[in-house]
Amino acid sequence: MLFDLDGTLTDPAAGITDSFRHALAEVGHPVDPSLDLTWIIGPPLRENFRIHGLPDHLHTRAVDVFRARHTDVGLFDAALVPGIVAVLESLRGDGVALGVATAKPAGQARTTLEHFGIAQHFDAVSGAAADGVHLSKAEIVADALRELGFDTARTAAGVEPRDGEPRNVEPPNVAMVGDRVHDIEGGRANRCVTVAVSWGYAQPGELDLAGPDHLVHSPEELLILLGALG
């Protein structure tokens, strides 16, 4: 089972939005402190700057400033979603392989997991490239699946394993759990069961349009669903 990080496992609102404001101010485009920026939690950083309207030639500098500030301060200005640790512990106790697929750089994701004491639950951590190269959520999910031992090129094509090959080249029995449309699209592109959580930062109507296979409203409901999926 794969999990998004920001908005799904953690509530990172203060750290992410403050780092975003800091980056905008540093490149000469400060925003009103009262402006709601929670919509930026989840999607790729460059996409957020584009949607916000920051001129293209400032994106690289803004990304660098954001990541520097976020690595030093913002990562730790967050909190675990209440009840999510019990979900991870229960799944691990049942022998389920777990991974993280996040738009965060993979190094930042690992730091976050270690800081909150949940890194030991995950067999794979996949995220954006540290050098700023854009990866879609579908590519990030595919990377996580490869870390878990799946041959994603062949599973996407529905190719059956040859004699003597491991059976994990069959289409993976994996659920992708997240709070934003990118998580649902990334999971669907990799033939995962898609599970949306309502406690994150999806905008009004976003999850309805995304059309996940399942929608849950609490970690307790999530655990019941994941257990039922087998």
Output the pLDDT for position 129: 75
Output the pLDDT for position 159: 46
What average pLDDT does the chain have?
Answer: 90
User: Residue with structure tokens 């996940």?
Assistant: 212
Q: Is 49 left (phi over 0), alpha (psi -120 to 50) or beta?
A: alpha
* Domain 12-76 top-level CATH class: mainly alpha
Its pTM stands at 0.86
Q: What is the mean pLDDT of residues 7-14?
A: 96
Output the pLDDT for position 164: 52
Q: In Å, what is the CA distance from 91 to each residue of 121, 122, 223, 230? A: 9, 11, 8, 11
Q: 229 falls in which pLDDT band (50, 70, 90)? A: confident
Output the pLDDT for position 216: 98
Q: What is the pLDDT of residues 146-205, one digit of tens each?
A: 999 887 765 554 444 455 544 444 456 899 999 999 999 999 999 999 999 999 999 999
Is residue 58 over pLDDT 50?
Answer: yes
Domain-wise residue ranges, the chain: 2-10+80-229, 12-76
Output the pLDDT for position 150: 87
Q: In Å, what is the CA distance from 16 to each residue of 74, 154, 186? A: 6, 36, 22
Residues 6+ apart with CB under 8 A from 65: 22, 23, 26, 27
Catalytic residue at 4?
A: yes
Identify the H or E element spanning 215. Answer: strand 214-216
Q: What is the pLDDT of residues 64-113, one digit of tens each?
A: 999 999 999 999 999 999 999 999 999 999 999 999 999 999 999 999 99
Of 4, 143, 151, 179, which is the active-site residue?
4
CATH code for residues 2-10+80-229: 3.40.50.1000
Q: Are 147 and 123 in contact (CB under 8 A)?
A: yes
DSSP letters for 180-206? SHHHHHHHHHTT-EEEEETTS-PPTTH
10 Å Cβ neighbour count for 157? Answer: 9
Q: What is the pLDDT of residues 122-139, one digit of tens each?
A: 999 999 876 556 789 999
Output the pLDDT for position 157: 47
Q: 47 falls in which pLDDT band (50, 70, 90)? A: very high
